[in-house]
Every structure is written in C-alpha cells, then in structure tokens.
Amino acid sequence: MKNFVRNLMIVISALFLLVPSACQKADSITTSKTELTWTRDGGKKTLDITANCEWTVKCPDWITCEPSSGSGSAQVTLRASKNEALERKDIISIAGGTALCQVNVSQAGVDFTASQMLFEFDSDGTPITFTIVSNYDWTIQIPEEASWVSANPKSGTAGETKVTLTPAPITDRTPRDRTFLTVDYGKSFTMLTVSQAMPNDPPGKPVLVSPEDGAKDVKVNVVFNWSEVEDPDGDAVSYRLLISQDGGNTWGNVSTSETSTKYSDKLSKMTDYIWKVEAVDAFGAKTESETRSFTTGDGGAYKDGEISIYQMESAGAPKPIHLIFMGDGFIEEDYEEGGAFDQAVETAVDALFSVEPFPTYRNYFRISTIAVYSQERGATVQKDMSTVKAQVRNTAFSATLEGGSSTGTSCNYDKVFSYALKVPGMSETALDNTTVFLLINVDAYAGTCAMYVSGRSVSMCPMGRDSFRPVVSHEGGGHGFGRLLDEYRYNDAELPADMQNELTYWRGYDPYYGYNIDITGDRSKVHWAHYFTRPGYEAVDMYEGGFLYTRGVWRPEEISCMHDNRAYYNAPSREAIVQRIMKSSGKTFNMNDFISKDKIRKDPTTKANYVEEVAVPFAPPIMIDNMR
C-alpha cells in the first residue's frame, strides 16, 4: 500500500512538471479581423481576441485600446483619433507567451490641412509659423489688400511643410483689418485670414465740465459737457457718457462723437447720480475721466427769466463763444423741463451743429437758454399764410411775420438783447460776438436775421414743420454767426452801386463779412482764389449771380445753404465761419489748420450734376448800422 501511494505521488508530480512545457508549445492567439480601417474623423471599433494564454495589445499612438491586456478570449475596443494629416498605416500587435498576432490598421487622411487658419499679428509684427500638410503641390496667393504680409515659402510640394507669415513694418495708421490669403492645391483652395493690431496709445483723459461735482437741483434733461481729448496717434476719438443711480453697480451709457450730450432718457426727479466719460479711439484703446456726483431737482417749470446752461465750452480757448436761445410765443406751461421749449431748443441746436464746420468746432461754444413767458402762444401774422391765418398774438418779444408771399420776420431786438445781457459772462463787447436765436412758436415758412455792423445778431426762426431746421442753418448759422449773404438771384439786373458800397462799408469793420460774395469779377483778386488750385476743392469757382441779383456779383460754388437752404455751406463760407470762431474765442485763424480739419471739401452733388433744391428764399437780412 505504501508503495502504491509513493508511486501515485511520483506520477502526479511528473504531470505538474509536464504542464508548463505543454502550454508553451500550445500558445495561441487569433483575432476576428486581420485589417481595420477608419475614416479621417476616427471613432471606435471592436476586435475579438481568442487566446489560451495571457496577452498584451500594443497600438500606434493614434489608437487606444481598452482593455490593453488580458487572459484568454476577450473583446477589446479600439478608438482612433481624428486625422489632421495625410493617410496613415500601422500595425496592432497582440502578444502572449510564444504567440503573436498582428492586425493591419489604416486611417484616411486629408487632401490638405493647415495647422492654423486665423493669423492675428501683434503690433510688433511677430512672425507666425504654421504647418501645411497636403497631398498636392500648393501655392499661397496674396491679394493687393494683404500685400503687407509675406509668406516663406510661398509654394510647396505634396507632404508636410512649415510656412512662416511675416507682416511688413507699420509705417502709417492704415488699419490692417481682416483680409484673406488663398492657398491653391489640386483643383481646390482654402482661405487663410490675416490681420494685425496697430501700435496704439490710448487717448487723453476727458475732463468733466458740467454738471459740477456735487451739484444740486440739476435739470432732469441736463446736458453733460466735458473737454475734448487728443489721441497721441492722431486717431479719431469718440466718447461714452456713463451714468448710474445705484452707486456704480449698473451703468447706462450714450455714445457720441461730440463733447456734450443728453442722456437718452429723462433722469428721475430728486435722485442721486454719478457720471463719468470714457474716451475711445478708433482702435478701441480707452481712458476714463474722474467720476462726479449730482442730484436732480423736482423737474418743475423754468421760472420766467431763468437762465440755463445747455452746453459749456471745452476747447480750452481763451474765451467762450456765446450762443443764446430764447423763445417767443411760449407760455408758462411750455417751460416744463423737457417740454415744448426744451424740445425746440434741442431741435435747433441739433440742426445748427449737424452742418459743417459747426460740428467740428462745437466745443468752442457756450450755449445758454432763457425762459421768457409769453401771454399767448404763436406770433402775430399780418397776412394769411398757407399754414397760419392772419392773427395778432401777445408775445414777449412781439415777433411778427409779414405773411402772404413774404417770409419777412421782425421782433423787438432791443428787448432780445436786454435779456441776452443777463447771461453770466455777457457784456456789450461779448454781445458783438454773440448770435441770439429767437425760436418763434408758430408753424410757418419764414425767417429773417437782424445783422448789426458790430457783429451781434438776432436770428428769428419760426418753427415751420418742414422749415425749422433749414431756417436755423440759413438765418442762424449762415447770416447770424457766419455773417454770410444770400446767394439768391431773383432780380434780373446788375448789383446796384449802393449795395456794392454797403458791402464795402461793412467789410471795413469785418473783412470776412459776406465772404461768400464777390463783386470784383476778377479770378486773380477774388478772395477765394486760394481754392482754385487746391486739390479736393474743384467745386470752388466763380459763378455769376448772388446777393439777390443775377449780374455784377459772384458766388463761389453752384449751390449752398445760402442759396437753397440745404445742409451744406460752401468752402469759403466754412472758412468764414471758422475764422469767426477763432477770432471770437481769442485764437488766431490758420488756413492750414482749417484745411486739415475741413470735413466737407465739396458739395455732395458735383459741379456736373448738382441738383437744385426747391426752396422759397427767406427774406434778406435786416442790416442795422450801430457803429455810426
């Protein structure tokens, strides 16, 4: 028995010794597929492994396997990443013991690809290198608008190529906005987008003018004013008024190119606000002003005779130029904040400062308004007109329209000036550089300017539904401030000698008086001859007719505001207006500076195809000699 047991143990031990040797000889690994193919987008596939031993999967770096090892039969998941290059081929190996099984794998590639499609160069012009992978020869096409960028190499053969794009040095302020390069390959193409940031310094810091910090009882329709800023790069600057009533947690804003604006909505009554201004240049660089606080009033009516500042000057000139707006035919209830009078002023101011050169020089002006109660709305009209019958009205300044076929208008000029002299900073001397706009509360096509030799004026502007804005530009901007003369021609005759003498007399006090009119007829002597050879001013010439007559008098351009009330002053008229702005503000007029800022060099309608607008002439200005 003992021998039997001993022999059995020997046999069992021998069998254990034989097992490893038998497994090694029998290692086997097979797979369900011998080849796998992916599209260029990649994705997952499964593979069945049949084995009788432990195994490990080895994949190329663009394929992952889960699980990557095991024992016996199993299913593995293979995931291929997206292929951004050319077609790729490789082998997956499954090894275990003495067994080895291989699966061929491949993935479709691209015909063409670039490692970068959008190139935004920094202001220093740092080159950018990227890689092109292509099955075809390729060429980069650079259009004229992108000639500031170069490519190296500009073309290549099939395969993988590194390309460097380099921007040329920036020598001016021309924006290098997004534009496109074309890469041609095979029978197709693709686009590369290029742009470059400008070297850019932010504009100066705005200085707030009004309302003052801590101001009380501020009008709910207050106009905010601040200083004009300069940009060190010479870029155009715009502004954003920011206003908050919750201590700066939230801000409302209004964008403008001017240095004054109202908030888009009426402010709340009896409310604390803070405000500031942001200056932004054409390339997005910005600066912020200080922050100020103010408190609005109760929003009640202006008192009779109350003076309000609509806009403060901010140009930094030695003196402000005063413009004063008052109304006639407005009764007490029209003087509520934001009411009929405020709306009329806003329309008139907008009309004046929408026609060059006034917008460019707006920050030289201090604009004041005066509330003057009339007993009745309207104006006295002596004869029936198309929009209003003959009537008599009791108004503060006795505004009177001749009516009928006449556009003539008059008022009590002395009373107007007596109110104007109440404006802070006003004097008899300052009044001679001041234009007063009398806004007459009647819907009628009419208007006249009372012009004084000394320089003061009253521009009477009835509020015709379609003529209010033109009358402000013609009577106020043209006659009143610009000291321009009419270019109408309704007397088919030569300019009389007495009118020639009158023109010469007035020019003795102001050489720029009637600067849009010439009586020499000599191209070498006419005072706008300096435009004849200046590029951009081809519309300036000598056109016979003006100052109410068809002969013996000349105007500089075919059409302008002083002819048919259009929103356009001819070049010599713009020059005269700017000359008066400089003189009245205590600065010296410089022709080169004027030209550099002149935004409209010719009428939008050319000399060849101008279109005359149909407009009934306003009455000639009332010429008052207060110097004798």
- Here the CATH number for the domain that contains residue 182 is 2.60.40.10
The helix (H) or strand (E) run that includes residue 506 is: helix 497-509
Residues 151 and 33 in one domain: no
Dist. CA 623–CA 620, nearest whole Å: 9
Residues 186 and 86 in one domain: no
Residues 512 and 611 in one domain: yes
Final residue in a domain of this structure, among 91, 107, 123: 107
Q: Find, among 509, 613, 511, the residue nearest to 559 by Cα.
A: 613
Low-confidence ranges of the chain (pLDDT < 50): 1, 5, 14-23, 602-609
Has residue 261 been placed in a domain? no
Instruction: Provide the residue range defining the domain that includes 542.
Output: 481-624
Has residue 365 been placed in a domain? no
Residues 490 and 579 in one domain: yes
Dist. CA 474–CA 478, nearest whole Å: 5
The pLDDT, as a whole number, for residue 627 is 86
Residues 96 and 139 in one domain: no
The helix (H) or strand (E) run that includes residue 244 is: strand 237-244
The number of beta carbons lying within 10 Å of the beta carbon of residue 125 is 16
Final residue in a domain of this structure, among 174, 196, 218: 196
How many domains does the chain contain in total? 3
**Which own/partner contact pairs does 307-310 have at CB distance under 8 Å and 24+ positions apart?**
307/368, 307/369, 307/370, 307/371, 307/422, 307/423, 307/424, 308/219, 308/368, 308/369, 308/370, 308/371, 309/210, 309/223, 309/366, 309/367, 309/368, 310/223, 310/345, 310/349, 310/367, 310/368, 310/369
- Give the SS3 label for residue 624: strand
Has residue 119 been placed in a domain? yes
Dist. CA 508–CA 39, nearest whole Å: 90
Instruction: Identify the residue whose tokens are 């040797």.
Output: 21
Tell me phi and psi for residue 552, to 5 degrees. Answer: 75, 15
Residues 604 and 489 in one domain: yes
Which residues lie below 8 Å from residue 67, measured CB to CB, with a gap of 6+? 57, 74, 76
Dist. CA 164–CA 140, nearest whole Å: 12
Has residue 534 been placed in a domain? yes
Final residue in a domain of this structure, among 171, 196, 221: 196
Instruction: Identify the residue whose tokens are 């076929």.
Output: 405
CB 76 within 8 A of CB 46: yes
User: Chain-centre distance of CA 424, in angstroms?
Assistant: 35
Has residue 160 been placed in a domain? yes
The pLDDT, as a whole number, for residue 10 is 52
Q: Side by side, which strands form the sheet with 159-167? A: 112-114, 128-134, 159-167, 149-152
Instruction: Identify the residue whose tokens are 């029936």.
Output: 384
The pLDDT, as a whole number, for residue 603 is 46
Has residue 41 been placed in a domain? yes
pTM of the predicted structure, to 2 decimals: 0.70
The pLDDT, as a whole number, for residue 13 is 53
The pLDDT, as a whole number, for residue 606 is 47
Q: Is 604 exposed, middle or buried (0-12, 13-18, 19+ CB in 10 A)?
A: exposed
The pLDDT, as a whole number, for residue 579 is 98
